[in-house]
Amino acid sequence: MSLVTRISTRLTGRLNVQTPILSAAMAIGGINDIAASVTEAGGFGFLGTAFDDVKALKNTMRTLRTRLRTPPEAPLPIGVGFIGWVLDQNEGAAERIIAVLEERPVAIWLSFGDNLEKYIRLVQDYDSKREHKTLIFTIINSVDEALRAANEWNVDALVVQGIEAGGHGGTYAPPLFDLTPAVIDALPNGPLIVAAGGIATGAQIAALLAMGADGVALGTRFLFTPECQMPEAKKQMLIDADLHSTTRGMAFDEVMKFFGWPKDCDGRAIRNKIVSDVEEGLTLEERTQRFQESAQKGEKDRLVVWAGVGVGLTNEIKPVADVLRELHRDAVRTLKRCASLFA
């Protein structure tokens, strides 16, 4: 699909896309469809691998290659995300990554691990033996992390994630509009800068591009789509949410028994009785029992819905292609309006 007006940045050049809008790597139902749809619409989509085994990963990559009509010998215009702590708990971690690399995706997204460097080196070593070079993206939540990823790990792109982000991130992350310029100032000739966290509008995208970001990654915004296979009850929670509906903490992971996240990492989701149970002083055992009983009864007041602060800026479901076109159009319009200030 061709966009009427292209936005050209270092990122669009490296990815060979028409707009610097990416869909974030998320472990949700329908993520493969979301990622492919974003790529088809002129952006670049990342899928999340979660706990998929080698066979499932291979099948996914080959299915996407067919859908995107990408010749067998060409790089696959999709990115693939891996969670570091999940890889650490899997004896076949290297095999999973190599299975993906064999399918030649354009990019890999690595995040949330105590030793991401070993996986970054694995990708770099694998690519050193062939012509195809996989672009390596990694999430950072501070300037120090950005400097390490750039200067020690030699990654290609920094996903600069602010505290507003949905899902998981560093508890210490500054707001996105403070962290982004700080990283850009620290690395003026460094890796690609991809801003992430709470972004839901074209105006925000334009502001971040004007600030010096090479692109943006959106997660929550693409949940408001039919391609997202989230249960309708959860989608309704997204639609009903406002700018004050989300909260951060470990309460959601605790009742789901996801305990592998690195120190000082927690998650942002829509506030509900899972949080109220903590505030009431219930033990983890009691909270987990309530969560499980609520799920068994089909109740909606303890559903886990990961979402960023920007969830409050959207209230309708639209196809991914329409969302991407709208975001791109509004970003272009805002950038042109800013340029007119000098007339």
What one-letter code names the amino acid at 18? Q
Number of domains present in the structure of the chain: 2
Residue 303: inside a domain: no
- The confidence score (pLDDT) of residue 1 equals 61
Residues 87 and 147 both lie in one domain:
yes
Instruction: List the single range of 89-93, 94-98, 136-140, 288-292 with lowest mean pLDDT.
Output: 89-93
Give the domain range for residue 90.
Answer: 10-229+314-340
**pLDDT tens digit string along 214-248?**
999 999 999 999 999 999 999 999 999 999 999 99
Q: How many secondary structure helices (H) and strands (E) does the chain include?
A: 14, 11
Residue 180: inside a domain: yes
Residue 3: inside a domain: no
Q: Which residues of 127-161 are buried (b: 16+ CB within 10 A; e: fewer)?
A: beeeeeebbbbbbbbbbebbbbbbeebebbbbbbb
Phi-psi region of 42 (alpha: psi -120 to 50; beta: other; left: phi over 0): left
Distance CA 139, CA 217 (A): 11
| Predicted TM-score of the model (pTM) | 0.96
In the predicted model, what is the mean pLDDT of the chain?
96
Residue 267: inside a domain: yes
Residues 281 and 178 both lie in one domain:
no
